Amino acid sequence: MKTIKLYTREEVIEFFDRSRKIIETHPIGITNEELFSLFLDRKSKEVPFDITPEYILEIVSKHTGISVGLMKSKSRKAEIVSARKRYFWIAYRKTGISSPKIGAVIGQGSSNTLITIGKIQKRLELDKKRGTKITEKFRQDVDIIVEKIETLTKQKLISR
């Protein structure tokens, strides 16, 4: 026979407060089981793993083969600029961190970050409207990188 535990009002409020904090810091999502296990584990008050722009930069660097140092450089070589764009877009979409902080990680100003993100967004929207596939490689790379980030994040959550 299954027993049902009743939670007090305070426990439920605590659960929702902790859930909100966890969800805000985990933009790629967290499963109900992970969330509930955090609630049951009263000792765990901190978010188990945080996806930072630095972490995203590291994954983009590994995926593209462009070193973090080169991505932080002032180089305008196409492959380096392309890697930076992938970093900007993923960090913008997955962290909820402001553009000045995203740009600061690689030594770029907030206006450069905003302009780059704006150009990417316009290009993606234009491609979608016209039905063209100019940004297909970019989309595929971003999807692969995001999948790697999610997989590594889940592995880190499980190993804790």
Q: Rounded to an integer, what distance in angstroms lies between the CA atom of residue 54 and that of residue 106?
A: 9
Is pLDDT at 96 greater than 70 in this prediction?
yes
Report domain extents, the chain.
9-48, 53-156
Q: Counting every residue, how long is the chain?
A: 160
Is 83:108 a contact under the CB 8 Å cutoff? no
The third-level CATH classification (topology) of the domain covering 53-156 is: Chromosomal Replication Initiator Protein Dnaa; Chain: A; (1.10.1750)
Q: Rounded to an integer, what distance in angstroms lies between the CA atom of residue 65 and that of residue 60?
A: 8
Tokens linked to 117 = 């993100």
pLDDT in tens, 110-158: 889 999 999 999 999 888 888 888 888 898 999 999 888 888 877 776 6
User: pTM value?
Assistant: 0.66
Q: Rounded to an integer, what distance in angstroms lies between the CA atom of residue 58 and that of residue 124?
A: 24
Q: Rounded to an integer, what distance in angstroms lies between the CA atom of residue 139 and that of residue 135?
A: 6
